[in-house]
Amino acid sequence: MMSGGEPSGESDRVLARAGEDPAEKTCRLQTLTDAALALLDSLPPERRKSPQQRAVYEFLRGKILDVFADYRKEAEDHLSKAVKLNPSLVDAWLCLGNCIWKKGDLPGAKNCFTLALSKGPNKKILCQLSMLERSMAQGAENHALLVEESIKHAKEAVMLDIKDGNSWYNLGNACLTSFFMTGAWDHTTLHQSLKAYQNAEKDEMMKSYPDLYFNSATANKYLENYERALHGFEAAALKDPGLGADEEVKKIVTLLDKLEGSMKSSPALVPRSHHTNSFTEPEFNTANPSDCKVLLTLLHTWFSPSELLGLNAYFALTQPKFLESSTTLVGTCAILVPFPQTTFATPMPPQSHNVELPIGLLKLSSLLSGLTGIDYFLLY
């Protein structure tokens, strides 16, 4: 999963310290907040008499109180006063939207961001609106439309300042969300997200942002760039242990160890001529099912098994869900072969062994976009 899905203020990035304990961070934020409020209250009364001056005062007080991750009603009250005193105060609308987002009022937050944008284009507001739309897409019937809107607003933010790392980071998150919500098979959006993250890393201000490293590593993981993914997760873990990046490192290491062990323990996985010949023979489709045996189970929780590509061999694969209907997966091939019923825990239709099933022969590389979320069986 990607990181950074909740509303966040600039304070999280500016005040971040490598390896800082969350409790220590909260305590330090409280100390800084108290100092900032004391400084603001020292402002002479005559400096906050006019509606414009009062609006700025209320805005600053609300913004200071809103630096914490949890919702603070006092912060919302001050920010609401600010926009009432001066409806043109764009930054106050932005902060108010973030504040009420924290209490779960997503439509109200979107209304604040939309009102702020009516005053003119603003990259910060576009980024927050893009992030909010991704949050609203979770579980929504029109999730595809909301994600499209998120990407649209993220691109608009980038166009306003192509050197702003946060805008690029937001665009990367929008594309990564699109990848997951469309079934995690479209690598085009995955490549787009990784490119956006790479542009974000060019901004020195983003160097201390652990979510950037975590999400970039996530994109690399699904692109099977495991070495880069490991480096990214390790960097994220150092900057923020609370992200759980160390667990992602363990998962990748475990995956690679399993695949290495499977190949070492299965001599039949070594490339042989019959991997490319026997499956092409006409009699293969009518062969006795017992002639086939499972060499390796490819679980969808292992990601896409690109490590097997190094074998440069051809394999026949079968996917149980499609055996009865002989449905072609993702339109790329027919990958059904005869198999013994005892191979699978799920009982198969009795007629399956008496029906000539379509056979597909292909390299694993042509399946990378279709393996996600489904279990396959490598047969010999």
- Which of 167-176, 259-268, 359-368 has the highest average model confidence (pLDDT)? 167-176
Q: Are 245 and 274 part of one and the same domain? A: no
Question: Above 80 in pLDDT, residue 162?
Answer: yes
Asked if residue 277 and residue 251 are part of one domain, the reply reads no
Calculate the average pLDDT of the chain.
Answer: 74
Tokens 């001056």 identify what position? 53
Do 282 and 329 fall within a single domain? Answer: yes
CATH of the domain at 213: 1.25.40.10
Rounded mean pLDDT of 138-160? 95
The answer, yes or no, to whether residue 250 has pLDDT greater than 90, is yes
- Do 180 and 320 lie in a common domain? no
Residue 354 CB-density burial (10 A; 0-12 exposed, 13-18 middle, 19+ buried):
exposed
pLDDT digits (tens, 9 = 90+) for 53-82: 999 999 999 999 999 999 999 999 999 999
Q: Are residues 176 and 216 in the same domain?
A: yes
pLDDT at 255: 84
Same domain? 103 vs 37: yes
Tens-place pLDDT, residues 361-372: 333 333 333 444
Q: Are residues 99 and 72 part of one domain?
A: yes
Are 344 and 316 members of one domain? yes
The DSSP code for 333 is B
Q: What is the mean pLDDT of residues 172-197?
A: 91
Whether residue 263 is contained in a domain is answered as no
Task: Look at residues 236, 258, 280 and tell me which one is the last residue of a structural domain.
Answer: 258
Cα separations (Å) of 181 from 55, 167, 285? 41, 21, 37
Q: Is 93 left (phi over 0), alpha (psi -120 to 50) or beta?
A: alpha
Burial class (CB in 10 A: 0-12, 13-18, 19+), 227: exposed
Mean pLDDT of 92-100: 98
Whole domain around residue 204: which residue ranges? 10-258
Is residue 4 a part of any domain in this protein?
A: no
Percent of residues, the chain, with pLDDT higher than 90: 52
- Position 265 confidence tier, pLDDT thresholds 50, 70, 90: low
Integer-rounded Cα Rg, in Å, for the chain is 27
Residues 128 and 47 in one domain: yes
Do 210 and 81 share a structural domain?
A: yes
- Please identify, among 225, 258, 291, the residue that sits at the C-terminal boundary of a domain: 258
188 and 330 inside one domain: no
Q: Does some domain include residue 370?
A: yes
Query: Total domain count for the chain?
Result: 2
Confirm whether 161 is domain-assigned: yes
Residue range 169-173: average pLDDT? 98
**Judging by beta carbons within 10 Å of its beta carbon (0-12, 13-18, 19+), is residue 151 exposed, middle or buried?**
buried
pLDDT at residue 337 above 80? no
Give the pair of three-digit tokens for residue 184.
């995690």
What's residue 186's pLDDT?
Answer: 79
In a domain? residue 290 = yes
Question: How far is it, in rounded angstroms, from Cα 16 to Cα 24?
Answer: 11
| 3 is a domain residue | no
CB neighbours of residue 298 within 10 Å:
22
Predicted confidence at residue 2, as pLDDT, reads 67
Q: Are 217 and 282 within one domain? A: no
* Res. 348: pLDDT tops 60: no
The pLDDT, as a whole number, for residue 364 is: 37
pLDDT of residue 101: 97
Q: How many CA atoms lie within 13 A of 283 on its CB side?
A: 4
Instruction: Give me the DSSP letters along 157-211.
Output: HHHH-TT-HHHHHHHHHHHHHHHHHTTS--HHHHHHHHHHHHHHTTSGGGTT-HH
Q: Of 380, 331, 337, whose CA–CA distance to 358 is shortest?
A: 337
The better pLDDT of the pair 324, 26 is held by: 26
pTM of the model: 0.67
